C-alpha cells in the first residue's frame, strides 16, 4: 500500500459515520423517498450499506463469503459494470418494512464490521473481492477505508433523500480518501478519457498523506510522494475528494469553494483529472 492506513483513525471514522447514519435512518419517515441524483431510494441506500458492511466484515475476517454474497455477484467487463450489476442483484433481495427495522439492520451490519476490525487483522493482507471482478483482491486497510468513504458519501445521499441537513465530517473523509484513491483509481482508468494521455499528479488530501498517480497509455499506477517532479499538484479537502470522485459535486464547485486547487508545471491538467477515470 502506498498510503499507510491508520487503524485507530479508520475505526473512529467508521464508528462516527455509522452512528450518524443509524440515527438519521431511525428518525426518518419515508424509506421510499428518492435520493437526489440517484436511481435509489433512502431504503435502497440503507440496503446497499448493509450489504457492503456485511461483505467487508467477512473479508476483513478472512471468512468464506457464503451463499448470500456469492449468489448475488454481478457480471461485466469492467469494474464499474460488475459493481453496478452486483448492487442491482443485492438490492432486489434486501428490503426493510420501515425506518426502525432499517436502522436496526444497519446497526447490526456496521457492528459486525467494527467487531471484525477489532480482531486486529493485518491491514496489508490481501482479500478476494469478487464484487470488483474475477480474481481482484484488495487489502484489509483498503476495504475499511472504502467502508468509511461509502458511509460519508451515502450519508450525504441519505440526507438529501430524507430532506435533512447534510453532514460531512472532514476527519472521516480525510482518513479514507487518500487510501481509497491510491488503491482504487488504478483499477478505474477510463480507456476513452485517458486515450493518448501521459502525465503525473501529486494528490494532496489536506491533513492526510500524499501520493503520486502516474498515467501512461491507458494505465495508472501509484507511487510514494517523495519529492519527484510531477506535472500537476492537486490539493483537495477530504470531503471534496470523495464528493467529486463519486460525482456528487462538480469540480468547478469544489474549485470555487476552495475545496480543490491545482498548480504545478501543467496546472490545467487538474481540470482533466476526473475525466480520466470511470467510477461505479
Give me the domains of the chain, ranges plus CATH numbers.
7-175 (1.20.120.450), 185-276 (3.30.1050.10)
CA distances to 1, 11, 50, 53, 138 from 118, in Å: 21, 8, 19, 14, 19
- Summarize pLDDT for 66-79 with one digit per residue, the tens: 888 888 899 998 89
- Summarize pLDDT for 52-62 with one digit per residue, the tens: 999 999 999 99
- Helices 7-27 and 140-162 meet at what angle, rounded to 10? 30
DSSP string for residues in the chain: --SPP-HHHHHHHHHHHHHHHHHHHHH-S-TTPBPTTSS-BHHHHHHHHHHHHHHHHHHHHT---HHHHHHT----SSHHHHHHHHHHHHHTT---SSHHHHHHHHHHHHHHHHHHHHT---TT-EEE-GGG-TT-EEEHHHHHHHHHHHHHHHHHHHHHHHT------HHHHHHHHHHHHHHHGGG-B-TTTTTT-EEEEEEEETTS-EEEEEEETTEEEEEE-SS---SEEEEE-HHHHHHHHTTSS-HHHHHHTTSEEEESSSGGGGGGGGGGB---
Query: What is the per-residue pLDDT for 251?
Result: 84
- Summarize pLDDT for 15-39 with one digit per residue, the tens: 999 999 999 999 998 999 999 999 9
- Summarize pLDDT for 119-175 with one digit per residue, the tens: 999 999 999 999 999 999 999 999 999 999 999 999 999 999 999 988 899 999 999
Structure confidence at residue 183 as a pLDDT band (50, 70, 90): very high
Structure confidence at residue 207 as a pLDDT band (50, 70, 90): very high
Q: Tell me which residue has cell 478476494.
A: 128
In this structure, what C-alpha cell is assigned to residue 159? 440526507
- Position 280 pLDDT exceeds 80: no
Strand bridging mode 137-139 / 198-205? unpaired
Structure confidence at residue 274 as a pLDDT band (50, 70, 90): confident
- Position 86 pLDDT exceeds 90: yes
Query: What is the per-residue pLDDT for 66?
Result: 87
Mean pLDDT, rounded, of the chain = 94
Tell me what the mean pLDDT of segment 193-202 comes to. 94
The model's pTM is 0.95
Amino acid at each position: 500500500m502506498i498510503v499507510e492506513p491508520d487503524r485507530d483513525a479508520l475505526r473512529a471514522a467508521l464508528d462516527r459515520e455509522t452512528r450518524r447514519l443509524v440515527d438519521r435512518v431511525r428518525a426518518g419517515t419515508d424509506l421510499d423517498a428518492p435520493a437526489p441524483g440517484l436511481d435509489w431510494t433512502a431504503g435502497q441506500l440503507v440496503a446497499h450499506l448493509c450489504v457492503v458492511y456485511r461483505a467487508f466484515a467477512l473479508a476483513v475476517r478472512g471468512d468464506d463469503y457464503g451463499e448470500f454474497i456469492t449468489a448475488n455477484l454481478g457480471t461485466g467487463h469492467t469494474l464499474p459494470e460488475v459493481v453496478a450489476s452486483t448492487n442491482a442483484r443485492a438490492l432486489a433481495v434486501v428490503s426493510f418494512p420501515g425506518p426502525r427495522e432499517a436502522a436496526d439492520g444497519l446497526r447490526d451490519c456496521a457492528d459486525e464490521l467494527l467487531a471484525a476490525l477489532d480482531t486486529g487483522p493485518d491491514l496489508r493482507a490481501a482479500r478476494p473481492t469478487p464484487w470488483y471482478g474475477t480474481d481482484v483482491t484488495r487489502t484489509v486497510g483498503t476495504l475499511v477505508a472504502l467502508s468509511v468513504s461509502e458511509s460519508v458519501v451515502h450519508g450525504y445521499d441519505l440526507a438529501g433523500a430524507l430532506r435533512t441537513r447534510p453532514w460531512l465530517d472532514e476527519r472521516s473523509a480525510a482518513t479514507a480518501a487518500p487510501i481509497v484513491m491510491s488503491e482504487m483509481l488504478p483499477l478505474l482508468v477510463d480507456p476513452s478519457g485517458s486515450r493518448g494521455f501521459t502525465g503525473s499528479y501529486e494528490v494532496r488530501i489536506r491533513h492526510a498523506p500524499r501520493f503520486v498517480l502516474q498515467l501512461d497509455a491507458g494505465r495508472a499506477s501509484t507511487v510514494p510522494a517523495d519529492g519527484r517532479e510531477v506535472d500537476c499538484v492537486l490539493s483537495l479537502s477530504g470531503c471534496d475528494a470523495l464528493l467529486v470522485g463519486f460525482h456528487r459535486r462538480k469540480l468547478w464547485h469544489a474549485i470555487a469553494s476552495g475545496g480543490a486547487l491545482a498548480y504545478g508545471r501543467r496546472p490545467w491538467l487538474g481540470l482533466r483529472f476526473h475525466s480520466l477515470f470511470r467510477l461505479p
